[in-house]
Structure 1
């Protein structure tokens, strides 16, 4: 499987898919740089007058509700509807799901357009499935990845989607398989927006991957391994952010395959 995942990394570098992001103010720069470093081409556009045209030329779409407002929510719904209608793969990042009724209302509407992938932390996935009660602390998770597996399974079945639960162990669930990835480092939680970067990378990888679950596994593995290796050269979160972007760009096959910690069932 290691070789297959590295082939996905190479595909992104070779094909440079155009990823249309409607994401939040906090992470625009970070996610654009992460996409560029991995070999993809980012575009950040949320004007309603150009959404449909942008999605027509993009290879995939990422919708991140982090800094949600009334205008952006309309753009997101238009983007999700368009992507679904023309069978363009798209990622939903349900940032802060469960925190407010406004977020939950918009998420409920977005889910009707059947995201190809849902990527969030355990608390967000649980809130999205509405099968449990948990305290959502901003965009940080108060639950572990394993706590959200049942919720993720419900979402997979209900929306025929792939769910990626981010955490110390990343768990990817599709209708046919479960993949666990145990890469990454705790210092990564001190850099804002790395989860958002994961969603953006997921968008790049599902744009080129025939097996979407393998594409998500490759994206999460790449980010986790890059974080592990970047920590070795970093003095704290500030330098980690810079070093991680460099490592996404410079990652070698030997580094990727020798550090990958993955289980499939």
Structure 2
């Protein structure tokens, strides 16, 4: 399945995506999903998530602003998603900054996400290797995390997406590179977190590898279009949302190189 076919399928289905994301990202993640053609739901309470996660097309879990209460809810949602066969996506934001956060990420990984999406430093850390991340920012190049991503995908039985200036996606056997985007993107808060939410929209309707590739290709295409017209980070965010809505099937496959 091509990225363009996946985009058409996602828009046809307009899946409901249960987003358990960080406080900074909620609004932009919801807007990204709406612009792309999906439907967001920001259900967070531990009292609700076990019921809601199986009702959704996909669940996404982002540990950016983690607390004991939010972790309990995330674990409950991931268990419920797994039990019901609902695919889910893990974003292990800055898991390397404390041992508690690292353990939280590992506990979530043990619940079998369909996709893990992170920057190179996060993927290296989740795979048990040393990286040079600083806070939520990567200090490592995507190319340096390729081997770790492949090993993590094989060991965890999931798709791993490593995002940066150039993105890499693998299931441990097949792999793809995605080119595009714009240098302004890291200067707009929560775009990476929003990419995790968008990945959920695609894996709700197509297999995890193809879904992750399509989500990254759509982000890359929209980022390139926004960068061509924006004058700074503020105008970029507006242009990016407009571009997400404007991209049509047929525009994505040139962004993807399978290896």
The number of residues matched between the two structures is 259
Shift of 1:231: 1.1
- Aligned match of 1:31: 29
Following TM superposition, the consecutive aligned residue runs of length 4 or more in structure 1 with deviations greater than 6 angstroms are none
Matched, 1:60 2:58: yes
Pair 1:240-2:245 in alignment: no
2:225 counterpart residue number: 229
Q: Which residue of 2 aligns with 1:98?
A: 96
1:169 matches 2:166: yes
Query: 1:73 and 2:71 equivalent?
Result: yes
Residue 132 of structure 2 is aligned to residue 135 of structure 1:
yes
Deviation at 1:254, TM superposition (A): 5.0
Cα distance, 1:189 vs structure 2: 1.1
Question: 2:198 matched to 1:204?
Answer: no
C-alpha separation in 2, matches of 1:255 and 1:8? 12
- With 189-198 and 24-33 compared, the bigger mean Cα shift is at 189-198
CA offsets, 1:170-207, max 9 Å, x none?
00011330100111111111111111111111000000
Does the 8 Å CA contact 1:52/1:78 hold for their aligned counterparts?
Answer: yes
Aligned-pair Cα RMSD in Å: 1.2
Q: Is the 8 A contact 1:22 1:45 kept in 2?
A: yes
User: TM-score, normalised to structure 1's length?
Assistant: 0.95
Alpha-carbon distance in structure 1 between the residues aligned to 2:168 and 2:115: 13
Q: 1:214 aligns with which of 205, 210, 216?
A: 210
* Aligned residues of 2:151 and 2:172 also touching (Cα < 8 A): no
What TM-score do the two structures reach when normalised by structure 2? 0.97
